[in-house]
Amino acid sequence: MNKIALLSPLNLLNGGKIMKNEYVYPAIFSYDEDGISIEFPDIPGCLPCADTTEEAIKNAKEALGLHLYGMEEENEPIPEPTDIKEIKIENNTAIVLIDVYMPTIRERIKNKYIKKTLTIKSWLNVEGEKRRVNFSGLLNDALENYIAANPTP
């Protein structure tokens, strides 16, 4: 990869690896009586489905983004998309170009809330409830401040 590609605004350097900000892949929409199945010829295992074309496009974008995010996280090579002129399709199928903007997907996944069970002293619970404390919000704020003040060694 040349230096120009490294400096391109379409790429992101993360922990020594280059990640593109945008991907566009061809998807094959197969229309059947029971719905639409979607296949990405270049991304094995990414197989969403839907009932309508509108839903198929939405589901294809979401599935492709999540699949590519997983590949990035696992440091798997991300293949170049096949040119749509090279894809052969059958009856009741259509090729649709699906684009995903990865910074939005990465941010959404990293900021996803998870349920965490914890234990606090009884009196803290009583006093916090009296003050209508949002325990989750307070813990998030406290952890963010703690992590900012105590970087990983």
Q: Name the residue ranges covered by the structural domains of the chain.
A: 7-110, 113-153
Give the pLDDT confidence of 4-54 residue by residue, as tens digits: 444 444 455 555 567 799 999 999 999 999 999 999 999 999 999 999 999
Give the pLDDT confidence of 55-95 residue by residue, as tens digits: 999 999 999 999 999 999 998 999 999 999 999 999 999 99
pLDDT at 14: 54
pLDDT at 112: 84
**Contact predicate 92/80, CB 8 Å:** no
Q: What are phi and psi of 11, to 5 degrees?
A: -120, 155
Question: Dihedral (C-alpha) 109, 37, 35, 30: value to the nearest 10 degrees?
Answer: 140
| 152 vs 53: which has the higher pLDDT | 53
CATH topology for 7-110 is Double Stranded RNA Binding Domain (3.30.160)
Task: Calculate what percentage of the chain has a pLDDT beyond 90.
Answer: 69
Task: Give the span between the Cα atoms of 152 and 33, in whole angstroms.
Answer: 54
Mapping DSSP to helix (H, G, I), strand (E, B) and coil, where does residue 24 land? strand
Greatest mean pLDDT range, 29-38, 112-121, 134-143 = 29-38
pLDDT at 12: 55
Give the pLDDT confidence of 96-107 residue by residue, as tens digits: 999 999 999 999
